[in-house]
Amino acid sequence: SHNAIRFGRMPQAEKLKLKAERKVVEKEVAGPMLADHKILVREIHGAYMKNFSMNKAKARLILTGKTSKQPFIIHDMETFQLAEKTLAAHMVNGDNPEPESGLQAGELVPAVGCGELQQREAEARLFHCCQSTSVETVT
């Protein structure tokens, strides 16, 4: 509009035209990769929903502590290492995963050699444990 130009603003039609051009350029650049990415995201989401089903009722029970066993919460490297040991013991023994030495869920445990643990190795071990066991998560 004349007033938009007069006061230094971009006219609405021009603004919409520029936005449309930008979207076309983005689609041209990301076309083939975007399709593959969407398929991968769909597959990951489907696998997650199949293996880690969580509804509001289950989440509410876990969060209020009304389940038969306490959830084990991983919030730092120390609790990650404890969970890793617990899951490994569960895989070997075949019993319910419980925190070692009578610890309550969410309690901190000092870890031995935490500084030498590499982040990628930890992520790979966690991924392997999650593949091998059934884990309930609350997101």
Condensed to tens digits (0 to 9), the pLDDT of residues 77-132 reads 788 778 778 877 877 776 554 444 344 444 434 444 444 445 667 666 666 666 55
User: Residue-wise over 41-79: b if at least 16 C-beta within 10 A, else e?
Assistant: eeeeeeeeeeeeeeeeeeeeebeeeeeeeeebeeeeebb
The predicted model scores a pTM of 0.29
pLDDT at position 23? 78
Q: Where are the alpha helices (DSSP H) in the chain?
A: 2-6, 12-51, 56-64, 77-93, 119-132
**77: CB partners within 8 A, 6+ apart:** 111, 114, 117, 122
Q: Which two tokens stand for residue 7?
A: 């006061």
Domain residue limits, the chain: 2-51, 56-132
**123: CB partners within 8 A, 6+ apart:** none
Q: Cα Rg for the chain, rounded, in angstroms? A: 25
Asked whether residue 137 carries a pLDDT value surpassing 60, the answer given is no
The closest of 98, 102, 91 to 132, measured between CA atoms, is 91
Q: Cα separation of 126 and 122, whole Å?
A: 6
Cα angle 116, 82, 87 (rounded to 5 degrees) comes to 115
